[in-house]
Amino acid sequence: MTVRLSDDLAAAFARLGGEEDSTVWGELWDDLCHQGDVYEDSFLALPYLEAIAGRRAPGGVQDAVLMAGLIASAADDEHSARYAAEINAFLPVARRLLDTAADDRSSFVYLLQCLLAFEGERVWSAGRLEGLFYEEYEVDCPVCESALFIAFGDHGTFASAGDYVTADPVKTALLPADPAALGPLPARLHRIATEAGHEEVARGLTHLFGRATCPDCAGDFVVSEQVECR
């Protein structure tokens, strides 16, 4: 059983701290989190990433936190226990980075996911908040199983069947959630986004945790429940 990171990956971490950092991080992402997948080596990299986040090793702090957040979002009980010290050490770093992500919506959303992952949340930390910066989600109607787009950005605020950008589909209005009536987790996320000045993210959360009507069958559903199913 592998108990330490491979020599090649350890050597890649040792190369950080120079002009080729972006290239090295690209290699590390390919090897440790290719297309969002997480492997045993990914967890073995957590001590290396934590040393970077804690500034005890060279490398980008935010790069380390983002990679560690993705890895932590896939942790089972065994990995969570084995790497509890490292995961807990990322929490204050992620909070600090959130405070400095005021001008970058995608980084803000990724860091929100990291924060949840380090806290042990395993649903919304696992990539499901990323539609907040794309301003759309793809879901399936729970009644008729039609594939739907939920949009709340520059193209408008609606549910549609089919490609709403290149076609002319039937659209139905979304019913956003009242921020005051959100459940504990979405209410917390909404508050964090609002206090950070990310009004688009806060507004997107009300649509994500609001309701939609299927344009094909008129079935009513909670958007977030269908996002969880995907």
**Could you give the CA distance from residue 165 to residue 105 in angstroms, rounded to a whole number?**
22
pLDDT of residue 11: 96
Supply the pLDDT for residue 155.
82
Query: Which of 195, 191, 219 shows the shortest CA–CA distance to 205?
Result: 191
Instruction: Kindly give the parts of the chain with pLDDT less than 70.
Output: 1-2, 102, 163-167
Start-to-end CA distance of the chain, whole Å, equals 33
| Sequence ranges of the domains in the chain | 7-118, 135-229
Cβ-based neighbour number of residue 40 at 10 Å: 11
pTM of the model: 0.93
Instruction: Look up residue 30 and give its two tokens.
Output: 């390919």
Strands 211-213 and 147-153: unpaired
Give the sign of the dihedral formed by CA 179, CA 185, CA 186, CA 192.
positive
Which pLDDT belongs to residue 102? 67
